[in-house]
Amino acid sequence: MPQLDFANPMVLAQAVWLLVIFGGLYFILNSYVLPQVATVLEDRAQRIAADLDAARASKLSADAAMAELQAATAKARAKAQSAIAAAVQQANAQAQAQAEVLNARLAEQITAAEGRISASRDAAMASLRSVATDTATALVTRLVGRADAAAVDGAVGRALSARGSL
């Protein structure tokens, strides 16, 4: 290959200048450029580490806040359940008291009604003998023409006794 003919003085000069230029470039890069790049990379790594630390701290703070929120929510929920249970218990007690009052009033009314019914029945049963006697006397008088009051009263008494009505 003619490009690598080191016997030619032109190729040798080019090779020397190549080494000089690369050496100078290496010296400039090594002395000025690469330290600045290293500094930038180191600053960037420190900034990323600081950001990661801040993110970890924020996450811990958020986790603590979430735990506190959950605890407060659980406490509020328990308090609400307690209040609801107390309200239900109070409502049941009031309903029970009202039911007892109503039951007592109804029992009084039932007793009074039973007393009135019993009095009405006794009055009806007492008047039943006279009504039956008057009816029987009227029927016998109508059929026969005259009625013996003592005989009709005795027959009505026997009929009522047989039925258990009097």
Question: What is the domain partition of the chain in residue ranges?
Answer: 2-163
Q: How far is 46 from 39, CA to CA, in rounded Å?
A: 10
pLDDT digits (tens, 9 = 90+) for 47-100: 999 999 999 999 999 999 999 999 999 999 999 999 999 999 999 999 999 999
pLDDT of residue 23: 96
Residue 7 pLDDT exceeds 80: no
CB atoms within 10 A of CB 166: 13
H helices of the chain, in order, are 9-28, 34-144, 149-163
**Residues 14 and 22: beta-carbon distance below 8 Å:** no
pLDDT of residue 135: 85
Average pLDDT of span 101-117 = 94
Mean pLDDT of the chain: 89
Residue 146: Cβ-neighbour burial (10 angstroms; 0-12, 13-18, 19+): exposed
34-144 vs 149-163: helix axis angle to the nearest 10?
150
